[in-house]
Amino acid sequence: MKEFAIGIDLGGTNTRIALINRKGEILSFEEFPTHPDQQGESVLREVSLQINAILKKLKCPKENVGGIGLGCAGILSPQKGILYFSPNLPALSNLPIGKLLVKEAGLKTLLENDANAAALGEHWLGAGKGINNIILVTLGTGIGSGIILNGQIWHGANGFAGEFGHTTLFPDGIPCKCGKKGCVEVYCSAPAIVRFARKKLEEGNNSSLRDEGRPLTSRIIFEHAANGDKLSLDVFRQAGTYLGIALSNVFNLLDLEIAILGGKVSEAGDFILKPVREKVKRMAISSPYYHPQVLKAKLGDNAGVLGAARLVFKNAEC
């Protein structure tokens, strides 16, 4: 049984690559800029070069590596190893990434959606450890999610399961980049938090944000919330309330045990977690023996590479 796997989190801005053992220990980690404007084959060639450099540095022969787990954003087929469409990696769209990386790196490659890979990582070693029915929601520029049912990633009939960010909160609401209106993403993501804050400022609300010299980001709004700014606190409560409503529907539909919140927005901690939990407590079905929980992710940016490596180990066990 091979003791190592390569886990990759291929993003539109940065790519993370790690050599990981069966205990989930990261033995080597590299992060470097992704160049989405390059041809797809060139992006994968750079990935292959980084893999070879890691293995050479640790004097680890490829014969000891079970394969590559590759997580990336977009609509894809894990079975065929094809990324059909990715808004952040257009050069890789419709490419047989799995076969191309096998050719470049000489290792078996398993392809998975990045949010699914992160969910698998949290299920293996993070906030979902030992819990077999979970949803991981990543809150950032967009909103991704991965669902684990009975200990396995739930892909759905066509591999599209987990598009929580594009479920509808308000049918006639704010337009979303997906083409629909009122999606969770446009009410609970980092850009949504900035938009809410700007709107409240335009309405004349008092706030320390008015004296902020930097362009507004969700992180800056968090800093002002931490200093007690009411407008900033209200913005996080608004986003958390909407998120709690949407998550309650998921709990009621799938009878999950926990929801895990990750991504940059989740770093706001109780400013967003508290209103989410309040809504879930009020709206999600529970019993004297079962209370759905909302937890903060534990693995941070490492969830994706750990989950991708776990794909390799699980495949070897089949």
Architecture, CATH, for domain 131-297: 2-Layer Sandwich (3.30)
Span of 4-13, 16-25, 114-123 with lowest mean pLDDT: 4-13
Select from 99, 110, 122 the least CA-distant residue to 65: 110
Q: What's the average model confidence in pLDDT over 268-295?
A: 94
168's torsion region: left (phi>0), alpha (psi -120 to 50) or beta? beta
Domain with CATH 3.30.420.40 in the chain: 4-120+302-317, 131-297
Percent of the chain whose pLDDT exceeds 90: 81
Q: What integer pLDDT is reported at residue 204 of this predicted model?
A: 95
Residue 196 φ/ψ, nearest 5 degrees? -60, -45
Sign of CA dihedral 73, 298, 315, 109: positive
**130: its two tokens:** 């030992």
Element (DSSP H or E) covering residue 233:
helix 230-254
Cβ-in-10-Å burial (0-12, 13-18, 19+) of 244 comes to buried
**H or E stretch covering 221:** helix 218-226
The CATH class given to the 4-120+302-317 domain equals alpha beta
Residue 316 pLDDT > 80? no
Q: Band the pLDDT of 19: cuts 50, 70, 90.
A: very high
Could you tell me the pLDDT band of residue 87, with boundaries at 50, 70 and 90? confident
